[in-house]
Amino acid sequence: METTTKTAKEIYLEIKANPSRKKFGFGKKAVLVNIDPQKAYTCVGEFKTAYETDPKQMDYVNELAKEFRKLGWPVVWTHVAYMDDASDAGIWGTRTNTEDSLQNIKFDSRRSEFDDRLEIDKVKDAIYLKKMPSAFFETQLQSLLVWHQVDTVILTGGSTSGCIRATAVDSLSRGYRTIVPEECVADKHESYHYANLTDLLLKYADVEDVADVKTWLAEKS
């Protein structure tokens, strides 16, 4: 095992800047999967579980969603919420039991609501309730991607070290090119955020600047 005194951010930026770094690349058609951009995770100052990495994250997500709709490509939003007895959270909901705990994000609660800054088209966009980290786990996402014949999955939301990573691994495992726009994902601490961006970059996905994702979408118009 290598050891270092560098921060997770320094390591990430060093690897990202490597001109010989190999990429999976974009495919022919993509889906935009926005993972859990709900108030429990976005309302910093209101909920202990919330976090912000880039203050313009929601703006970038909205911009990407608009471009996808223009192309007629699928836009997906996921959120988590659980039953009153939390039995649908399984073992994941047993480690702690405080008002901030995952399994205590209840249906129709403020924590379960999407961030007010988001521009969700409730007619054209798909909205999925998920219970576990991956957006693929026991949701209709896989069927939607097969129907739309996409080969590329673009992920936004949070957290980078949790649901983004889990979804990216599942996406790759299902044979999709997976893209993570850096400014569109967030985590509680920069160490978790950049360490997982590094791992995604090296193994499971391409981590790109959101501007490069937008350029690719513009070329498809």
CA torsion 38→74→182→130, rounded to 10°? 40
Are 62 and 210 a contacting pair, CB within 8 Å? no
Told to judge if 163 belongs to the known catalytic residues of this protein, a careful annotator would answer: yes
CA atoms within 13 A on the CB side of 15: 22
Tokens 């649901």, residue located: 163
Residue 104: CB atoms within 10 A of its CB come to 18
Catalytic hit among 8, 105, 163, 217: 163
Residue with tokens 């480690």, as numbered in its chain: 95
Query: Helix 8-16 to helix 190-199 angle, to the nearest 10 degrees?
Result: 30
The DSSP secondary-structure symbol of 106 reads B
2: its two tokens: 């290598």
Catalytic residues: 163
